[in-house]
Amino acid sequence: MKPIFLTAAALLTTLSFAAPISVKAENSAPVRRLLETRECFGCDLTGANLKGAHLIGVDLRNANLKGANLEGANLEGADLTGANLSSANLEEAFVSDTILNNANLTNVNLSNSRLYNTDVNGAVLANIDLSGADVFNTAISVGGEY
């Protein structure tokens, strides 16, 4: 009986010194606010997991979505003016009638996404991945000089 008790005590002591468990971004107050109210102006959503989220018409102006996972998300009619989407994953996202004016899209994965009538006026579009993307009536060119 004593060996089991000592083993359990040693295990619990080891676990108590482990790094604290961090709260995942998808459970954060800003994510809950966004999903409940459809707006999160200037929110810090760094690294948020919004995979497959229905973000139709949301207000994410000036939000920080750096490294966020928006894979398969529906951003139809969303306003992301001035948002930081650097290194975000928008693979297979539906980006239709979305406003991305002055947004930072550096290193964004837009592969296999659909960008229709998307406003990217003044956006930083450095090193974006558009492989397999369907781009229509959106001022993004693929490769080469204009």
3-state SS string for 102-143:
CCECCCCECCCCEEECCECCCCECCCCECCCCEEECCCCCCC
Q: Kindly report which listed range (35-49, 74-88, 130-144) carries the lowest average pLDDT score.
A: 130-144
- pLDDT, one tens digit per residue, over 56-65 is 999 999 999 9
- At residue 109, φ and ψ (nearest 5 deg) are -95, 105
- Give residue-wise pLDDT tens across range 6-53: 444 444 443 333 333 233 444 589 999 999 999 999 999 999 999 999
Task: Render pLDDT for 105-124 as a digit per residue (tens, 0 to 9).
Answer: 999 999 999 999 999 999 99
**Structural domains of the chain ordered from first start:** 39-137 (2.160.20.80)
Q: How far apart are the first and last CA of the chain?
A: 78
pTM attached to this predicted model? 0.78
How far is residue 70's CA from residue 110's CA, in Å, rounded to a whole number?
A: 10
50 neighbors 29 (Cβ within 8 angstroms): no
